Amino acid sequence: MALVRDRRQLNLKLPLPEISDRRPRFPLPLPPTTTSATATSTTTTTTAADLEKLQVLGHGNGGTVYKVRHKHTSAIYALKVVHGDGDPTVRRQVFREIEILRRTDSPFVVQCHGMFEKPCGDIAILMEYMDSGTLDSVLKGRGKFSERSLAGVAKQVLNGLNYLHSHKIVHRDIKPSNLLVNNKMEVKIADFGVSKIMCRTLDPCNSYVGTCAYMSPERFDPDTYGANYNGYAADIWSLGLTLMELYMGHFPFLPPGQRPDWATLMCAICFGEPPSLPEGSEKFRSFIECCLQKDSGKRWSASQLLTHPFVSISNSN
């Protein structure tokens, strides 16, 4: 079984090195998922037998995500398993995600505790568990978000994006279902399968990846807007649409209940005007406008948006 001892020193060359007893192992210490000041971590090497599967959190894209418990510490984690007989594209995305996660260390980005590859080809990633799921599941469960709640969401996601962008990482698939949340409303960016490490500040728009509904005009239609492509600005467009969806309760470009199709989205995003809030405070409307500029050069950066008056709402009484 392949072993990775430190996520910061992850070696992605395949095949990964085998250990003699061929048991799946994870790097430790694995910090307990508690905020107690007295919490301590262990330094004992753990095996897959030490992890108890509690429930399935979700299926999709060639794999399964489980909620698991460490039997000796009772710490809870999420275990993402991608099957070895799945789509090779999905496997490449998993290794891309690992490559991104090994570079990150931010409270606003989901933490990866380690990975291993089974002899059958299955790849597993042990990750931080967020007990409230995604912002998409929260929206479906409780309904629309208030402005103050969204100001807090925006501040945390912007801190995450500012961190990623400062390390030349673009996410390329910001949307409610890729933003994890816990019961304290702490929000963390997740799912880096289509993300990219930029070699330079501006990179050509040469790939059509991600979820088309949240793509910016220059990503959706590179023939028309490709000359202005900026991966960092594209993440900001996606954030603007995400916040609008959480506030309105449905995807901004379409009426409630209508499923988007490629042609409708293409016309709306590339040829129509950017969506605007039907209601809301002046600060919120201004913030959304700063995100949803069709000209990517006019969109505010993550660091600029962190200074926007709307973000400060989350700290006000």
Binding residues for ATP: 80
Residues in the chain: 317
Tokens of 184: 């304290």
Structure token digits, residue 244: 């609008």
The DSSP bridge pattern shows strands 123-128 and 187-189 to be unpaired
d(CA 229, CA 245): 24
Q: Is 173 a catalytic residue?
A: yes
Give the Cα separation of 80 and 68 in Å (integer): 10
Q: Which residue numbers belong to the known binding site?
A: 80
The reply to whether omega before 260 is within 30° of 0 (cis) is no
Is the CB of residue 150 less than 8 Å from the CB of residue 287?
A: no
Distance CA 141, CA 46 (A): 36
Task: Kindly name the residue from 50, 122, 136, 173 that is annotated as catalytic.
Answer: 173
Q: Look-up: residue for tokens 């000041």? A: 37
Q: Which residues are identified as catalytic? A: 173
